[in-house]
Structure 1
Amino acid sequence: MSRLEGKVAVITGAAQGMGEAHARRFVEEGAKVVITDLNEDKGLAVANDLGENAIFVKQNVTNEEDWAAVVATAEKKFGHVDILVNNAGITMAKSILQTTVEEYRRIVEINQVSVFLGMKSIIPSMQKAGGGSIINISSMNGIVAGAVGYTDTKFAVRGMTKAAAMECSNYGIRVNSVHPGVIATPMVVQEDTKAAVEEFSKQIPLKRTAQPEEVTNIVLYLASDESSYSTGSEFIVDGGLTAM
């Protein structure tokens, strides 16, 4: 039997990269998936490729009204939401002195506030379903230091996950965070950063970057009933970097 048979999932930032990999695997495992992203062309292409068990909704994850629309669409098309993957996010690699207040607030809105809005919006649907699983995508920089702004928000996701896990345990909803290291996504391996990423990968204990599907394996586990006793925990997928 498929591991997500009969479940409905919402995955943000799923037009490409890790989110796309999650969406494709979830459909393979029997889930019905709502793909959200600002990139309408790529999002529609992924949903169309996946067929009747996937739909695309254009979404600004920092907008509460957009979240309400996503939930309404999911429930109308597929039923109550069982799984939320808060995957959407951006990176920023500037020093404190170089970072403007506007830039800082933008990364907080996209990486941190969106996770809060996602949980707040979808928990009621999960309550109606009798339970669910929320997977918040943080980063290895939610465990160890990195650039200002990015690190701050990823630590915040880790903390929100724990707080939500305690509250949601009363509803039969599990909440966990996933902490990827260097993953070969379009955002990471673009031409202006590719050489730097390849050089950095030599420092990774496993001596390579990860493929998005290697993160998907963890996300799938947390979405499925196989992880029924895991909540409020961090799952690290970084090739050993945080163990150094």
Structure 2
Amino acid sequence: MTRLAGKSALITGAGRGIGRHFAKTYAAEGARVAIGDIDFERARTTAAEIGDGAIALAMDVTSEDSIEAAVDAAHDSFGGIDILINNAAVFTAAPLTEITRADYQQVFSINVAGTLFTMQAVARRMIKDGRKG
């Protein structure tokens, strides 16, 4: 199947788990995939498993500079970004009464702020390129 032939996707948190599955599935459907992950080695392993049409990106969604660099790299490699999958996320496995402010701030900075700022960076690039989304 090649429903996504000619499309390119940036997937955050794609070095393992659900993000890795998204990357492999989208690639199997014909998309070029940018594997963004805070652990570059995991991203590189996933990209190598996919082969042609996959690139690995070191991407920390808590850093706007890292987000911009990853968006630029995906754009430059593929000539544009058509699809964003905001998959990077964490959770705190602790009883409610034991979650600390640091735990909360980490979850918020990755799951909420990271998602927002990655969407903004990709949207700005898509608008600049005249792409619809």
In which range does the TM-score fall when normalised by the shorter chain? Answer: over 0.9
Structure with greater Cα Rg: 1
Higher RCO (CA < 8 A, seq sep 6+): 2
Which residue number corresponds to residue 37 of structure 1?
37
Tell me whether 1:84 sits opposite 2:84 in the alignment. Answer: yes
Please tell me the residue identity of whatever aligns with 1:100: T
Name 1:114's counterpart in structure 2.
Answer: 114
How far 1:91 sits from its partner (Å)? 1.4
Separation of aligned partners in 1, 2:130 and 2:51: 24
Residue aligning to 2:62: 62
Q: Gaps (5+ residues) in structure 2? A: none
Paired position in structure 1 for 2:132: 131
Shift of 1:31: 0.5
Aligned-pair CA distance for 1:50: 1.2
What letter corresponds to residue 50 of structure 1 in structure 2?
I
Counterpart contact for 1:39–1:58, Cα < 8 Å: yes
1:168-179 matches, cutoff 5 A: none
| Partners of 1:28 and 1:96 in 2: CA distance | 41
Deviation sequence 1:135-176 (CA, Å, 0-9, x none): xxxxxxxxxxxxxxxxxxxxxxxxxxxxxxxxxxxxxxxxxx
Runs of at least 4 residues of structure 1 off by over 6 A?
A: none
Name the SS of the counterpart of 2:90 in structure 1.
coil
TM-score (normalizing by structure 1): 0.52
- Give the direction of change, closer, same or farther, for the CA distance of 1:121–1:18 in structure 2 (3 Å limit): same
Corresponding position of 1:2: 2
Equivalent residues of 1:15, 1:39 under 8 A apart: yes
Aligned partner of 1:194 in structure 2 is none
Distance (Å, rounded) in 2 between the aligned partners of 1:54 and 1:24: 9
Partner SS, residue 4 of structure 1 = coil
Question: Post-superposition shift, 1:94?
Answer: 2.6
| TM norm structure 2 | 0.93
Is residue 43–residue 56 contact of structure 1 (8 Å, CA) maintained in 2?
yes
1:34-56 CA-to-partner distances (Å, cap 9, x unmatched) read 00111222211110121120000
Unaligned regions of 5+ residues in structure 1, if any?
Answer: 133-244
Partner in structure 1 of residue 50 of structure 2 = 50
